A = this chain, B = another copy of it.
Amino acid sequence: MKIRNTRQRQLILDAVKSLHAKHPTAEEIYSHIESVNPGIGRATVYRNLSFLSEAGHILKIETPIPPDRFDDTLAPHYHMQCRVCGEICDADIEYMRDIESRVKPTDGFIIESHDITFKGICRKCHENIVREDNAE
């Protein structure tokens, strides 16, 4: 199993990096590439996103509201997700290295990692709701 550096794989890694702030979905990555590079297949994007996250080159973020999103920031950190639009952004809070060891052993479950997701509403969606309420 010799790994190859295909043009597509590189394009996908570049796209995740350049869409960094967006925490892009697979579809966003696909259409970002497709606009400049028509002909790439969606399956190739999905396959490579899995490959790259399993290889530790990018991070797959499994959020409460699908679809999954991808991040090129490898340092562990937490996210906030808007319950209206589903957009996510980084949460400005220190990473809790000790929290896993504070869980009391249960049924032989071995903890390997943890995620914290703050749920709420982003400024844009909040403004829209206020606007709609005033319109009534």
Report the interface size for chain A: residues with CB under 8 A from the other chain: 37
Within 8 A of B (CB), among A113-133: 113-123, 126
A136 in the interface (beta carbon within 8 A): no
Task: List chain B residues, Cβ under 8 A from A93.
Answer: 99, 102-104
CB distance from A26 to the nearest CB of B (A): 15
Are A119's CB and B108's CB within 8 A?
A: no
Residue pair A80, B111 in contact (C-beta under 8 Å): yes
Least CB distance, A128 to chain B, in whole angstroms: 12
Q: Using a CB-CB cutoff of 8 Å, which residues 19-71 of chain A contact chain B?
A: 62, 64-66
Interface residues of A (CB under 8 A from B): 62, 64-66, 80, 82-83, 89-93, 99-100, 102-123, 126
24 contacts between A and B (CB under 8 A): A62-B64, A62-B65, A66-B66, A80-B103, A80-B106, A82-B109, A89-B107, A90-B106, A92-B105, A93-B102, A93-B103, A99-B116, A107-B122, A108-B126, A110-B120, A110-B121, A110-B126, A111-B118, A112-B119, A112-B120, A114-B116, A115-B116, A115-B119, A116-B116
